[in-house]
Amino acid sequence: MTKPCFRFAPSPNGHLHIGHALSALLNVRAAVALSGRFFVRVEDIDQTRCTPQLEQDMFEDLAWLGVPLDEPSPRQSEAFPFYRAALEKLQDLGLVYSAFLTRSEIKTFVTEYEADGNTWPRDPDGAPLYPGDLAVLSEEDVQIRADSDASFALRLDMKKALARISSDLCWQEAGAEGKSLFDPGNRVPVEADRWGDVILARKDTPTSYHLSVVVDDARQGVTDILRGQDLYHATSVHRVLQELLGLPEPRYRHHRLVLDADGRKLSKSNQDTSLSALRADGLSHADLRRRIGL
Ligand code: GLU
């Protein structure tokens, strides 16, 4: 059996919060319990929001947590050629198209559509599904944008993608806390159509979260993905991309989220739950474990 390999994959686009601490520690614990590997991956494809200072602060937080940092920590910003190659593979399969509507054009379209009491479909994160350029623009306008320097996103044609793969595609959800790490868990059917035509890259960013995460997990030999419940539904998109790109299927475990006092998801901008701010205020390891329920 291959040695299990876990990763913690934060984005240094803000300070880590105590929910990240839970995720990192669960990964380390699982890797130790299964005599597996563990490494940190820096997900810094958003080069405007991720900064060297935030990355350094992140590593200080992780060292304080006792997260082992002896394995190299690959950076996504150094792996763009790998994402480009994967994107080209999907383009060669005829599954990628340029989409020219801006966020505000999509928003206006949806608002107008819903003004009559209709409901426009939304993805599991609550974002409206892409309506297609022609829902807003004429064919001529699309051509003008294509011929100009207009910004665009490269989207996966989800209908065409799903037609290429088995209709009973699933993922293996092994569960997180409260379940034995040896419990294989259960198969969860993929529902990628709920996401519509997801973004794979943009004019100025040659990849997206979905594309880079599947490419990296495969090339870095990750066998076990243990991450927050907020990414549970994204697994459907990841399984579709793995199938299309011929990548191996990892095991998934989605863990509970640490919520704020109002029961909301933590945000990186909130100082009350920022690890570095709490540490500066004298947070102890025992306080932290209590706050995150470990
Ligand atoms: N970089 C993602 C985040 O910070 C996590 C990616 C993953 O674990 O798949 O939310």
Look-up of token digits 């868990």: 185
- Strand pairing of 37-40 and 186-189? unpaired
The yes or no reply on domain 1-78+258-294 and CATH 3.40.50.620 is yes
Question: Does residue 4 contact residue 274 with C-beta atoms inside 8 Å?
Answer: no
- In this prediction, residues 241-247 reach a mean pLDDT of 98
Name which residue sits closest to atom 3 of ligand 1, judged by CA: 10
Query: Nearest-CA neighbor of 273 among 16, 41, 88, 12?
Result: 16
105 alpha carbon – ligand 1 mean position (Å): 28
Residue 179 pLDDT: 74
- In this prediction, residues 260-274 reach a mean pLDDT of 86
Tokens standing for residue 241: 């991309």
User: Does residue 245 sit in helix, strand or coil?
Assistant: helix
136 alpha carbon – ligand 1 mean position (Å): 33
| DSSP annotation of 154 | E
11 alpha carbon – ligand 1 mean position (Å): 7
How many Å apart are CA 59 and CA 56, to the nearest integer?
Answer: 5
Look-up of token digits 């060669």: 92
Cβ–ligand 1 distance for 212 under 6 Å, the answer no
How many Å apart are CA 237 and CA 190, to the nearest integer?
Answer: 8
Write down the domain spans for the chain. Answer: 1-78+258-294, 79-171+182-220
Cβ–ligand 1 distance for 224 under 6 Å, the answer no
Residue of 227, 242, 251, 252 to mutate, ligand 1, most atoms within 8 A of C-beta:
227
Nearest-atom index, ligand 1, CA of 23: 8
**pLDDT grade for 274, boundaries at 50, 70 and 90:** very high
Q: Is the predicted pLDDT of residue 262 greater than 90, yes or no? A: no
Q: Is the pTM of this model over 0.85?
A: yes
Write down the CATH number for the domain with range 79-171+182-220: 3.90.800.10
Cβ–ligand 1 distance for 10 under 6 Å, the answer yes
Question: Does residue 202 contact residue 154 with C-beta atoms inside 8 Å?
Answer: yes
Residue 89 pLDDT: 98
Tokens standing for residue 270: 């909130």
Residue 127 pLDDT: 96
Residue 184 pLDDT: 84
